[in-house]
Amino acid sequence: MTDKVCDQRPETQMTHSPLFSLKSHRLRICLFLLLALYMGSANRMALSTGIVASDPDRAATMTSWRWSAKIPIFSITMFPHAILLPCCQGHLSWTPSQQSFLLSSSFYGSFITIFVSGAVIDQFSPSKILSVGLIVSAVLTVVAPFLADISYEVLVGSRMIIGMAESFIVPAINMLATRWFPTSEKTTLAALYTSGLQFAAGGASLLAAQICRSTTLQGWPAIFYIFGAVTLIFVVIWFIFVNDRPSVSRWTSETEKKYLEKHIVANKKKPSLRTSPWKALATSIPVHSILLCSFAFGFSTSTMQAYLPTYLREQLALPVDKIGLYTLAPFVAQIIAKTMCGPLTDYVARKGITSLTTATKVAQSLGSFGASGALMAFAYFPTCEQPGSALPILIIYGAVYAGGVCGFFTSLLTIAPKYTGTLSALSQLFSMLACIVSSTLVTTLTTMETPYKWPIVFGTASVLQAGAGAHYLFCGSTEQQYWSDGPREKAPSV
């Protein structure tokens, strides 16, 4: 008996592979996923910055620019905080309506291909599809200044193609996460790699501003050249280091391969459109929870990203420099909170303190109900006389918002690993629909000159968060579903 135990100890030690180690390739994969999210978002945001700088009239008056009710009802300006950037010389004169449609053209492109992107990711190589998507985005970003000189319509068409390519990026990233990360680490690593969105939202505009202001770099076209070129360099490095699975990666140590093979059971049979469990997906209650949370969080995200600077200017009369600080605060708070919430959620589940499902429900409740309360407070408490009260509310909002990644997003990665691409595409679709609803609501209220426009907008976001949080609390799950016909992941031993 003793000899048998002694013989097993080296085996146990050999198959143990710590996550936070210089030898951990799955941690490097996580960083690559973070950068991929950043690159895709930054290329889209390059236009948000460049469109201001390229228009001489708008660049000259951008500190006093406000949301226009003349913008078409389905035109979604995702990042109007580009108005806070320093002025630089431009030569393209487009109407506000043209600018708005141009900014939202990538959104419309994504809407075209989102219905097939998930199924394609499920069937083919996610790492290669993601590479192609980034290459298309990068090339069209580099040539954007030249296309703008050709015609407005050509530039719009290129942005729609970028949107079509981008619709494959998030499902591909999530599929790679499913194949590389054990269940006991998915929340931690998801919290890390999704921070690429916050880095892009908070940092890409600031970087673009510095590029635009530089006299050496010749103004706004350099934004597109640099962002696109950096993405192309990243794709080259991606091809070298990233594979679809640990088993085929030459950068993964044998110890780590054995550890991942033990705790992640690969589904070798590829799904197809005919064999995909569409009926089960449509009737699955845990899937409903994921989609409702995706809609609620998408509505809140699009509202805060698109209209927070306008609200701070219109309602609180904040100066430009403070608007920049207030806009950045929730993103910073979210990044910090995610780095703590993710590991904590995995820890309590791994140590058997509670199940992963219970841990994610606690995190999701914090994210949904906390964000609901913060949004409601944000709608009523800050005033022109006391605008400073908005900053702590925004920080709290950003911090509790991180609970969503440790909640419904973890469920998305675990309930059906074989169909993660399809689930990710559906989640994206509901987020996009939420974006449309948010834009439509604000534009309609602006057109009607409703005196309580902002309480209605933020109140709606608050109600949606509370409703989605309640549904996930009672119906959410991280357990692999019976209709996901691949073998279940093996839970690692404590």
Confidence grade of residue 269 (pLDDT, cut at 50, 70, 90): low
pLDDT in tens, 452-465: 899 999 999 999 99
Which residue from 166, 146, 125 is spatially nearest to 39, judged by alpha carbons?
A: 166
Provide the pLDDT for residue 237.
Answer: 97
Pair 205, 48: CB distance under 8 Å: yes
Structure tokens at 449: 């000159």
Count of CB atoms within 10 A of residue 196's CB?
22
What is the arithmetic mean of pLDDT over 247-259?
Answer: 92
Q: Which fold has domain 277-482?
A: Growth Hormone; Chain: A; (1.20.1250)
Confidence grade of residue 82 (pLDDT, cut at 50, 70, 90): very low
Provide the pLDDT for residue 252.
Answer: 92
What is the arithmetic mean of pLDDT over 214-223?
Answer: 76
Confidence grade of residue 79 (pLDDT, cut at 50, 70, 90): very low
Domain 25-276 and domain 277-482, same fold? Reply is yes
Lowest mean pLDDT among 107-121, 130-144, 480-494: 480-494
Query: What is the spatial distance between Cα 182 and Cα 193, in angstroms, rounded to a whole number?
Result: 15
Q: What is the mean pLDDT of the chain?
A: 83
Confidence grade of residue 71 (pLDDT, cut at 50, 70, 90): very low
Distances (CA, A) of 323 to 58, 68, 482: 18, 19, 49
Pair 126, 425: CB distance under 8 Å: no
Residue 5 has pLDDT above 50, yes or no: no
Residue 317 has pLDDT above 60, yes or no: yes
pLDDT in tens, 162-199: 999 999 999 999 999 999 999 889 999 999 999 998 88
Confidence grade of residue 234 (pLDDT, cut at 50, 70, 90): very high
Q: Domain 25-276: which CATH class?
A: mainly alpha
Query: What is the spatial distance between Cα 294 and Cα 351, in angstroms, rounded to a whole number?
Result: 29
Query: What is the spatial distance between Cα 62 and Cα 80, in angstroms, rounded to a whole number?
Result: 10
Lowest mean pLDDT among 43-52, 105-114, 464-473: 43-52
Pair 33, 176: CB distance under 8 Å: yes
Provide the pLDDT for residue 318.
Answer: 86
pLDDT in tens, 123-135: 999 999 999 999 9
Provide, for the chain, the percentages of residues in helix, strand and coil under a 3-state DSSP scheme, each rounded to the nearest 5: 75, 0, 25
Provide the pLDDT for residue 60.
Answer: 45
Query: What is the spatial distance between Cα 135 and Cα 132, in angstroms, rounded to a whole number?
Result: 5
Residue 494 has pLDDT above 60, yes or no: no
The percent of residues in the chain predicted with pLDDT above 70, rounded, is: 82
Provide the pLDDT for residue 275.
Answer: 63
Residue 104 has pLDDT above 50, yes or no: yes
Residue 87 has pLDDT above 50, yes or no: no
Confidence grade of residue 270 (pLDDT, cut at 50, 70, 90): low
**Domain residue spans of the chain:** 25-276, 277-482
Provide the pLDDT for residue 80.
Answer: 39
Which residue from 458, 3, 106, 53 is spatially nearest to 219, judged by alpha carbons?
A: 53
Q: Where are the beta strands (DSSP E) in 123-172?
A: none
Residue 209 has pLDDT above 80, yes or no: no
Structure tokens at 364: 């999701």
Mapped onto helix, strand or coil, the DSSP state of residue 185 is: helix
Provide the pLDDT for residue 105.
Answer: 86
pLDDT in tens, 9-64: 344 444 568 888 888 999 999 999 999 999 998 888 777 666 655 555 544 444 33
Query: What is the spatial distance between Cα 442 and Cα 435, in angstroms, rounded to a whole number?
Result: 11
Query: What is the spatial distance between Cα 243 and Cα 257, in angstroms, rounded to a whole number?
Result: 13
Provide the pLDDT for residue 22.
Answer: 87
Query: What is the spatial distance between Cα 477 and Cα 330, in angstroms, rounded to a whole number?
Result: 28
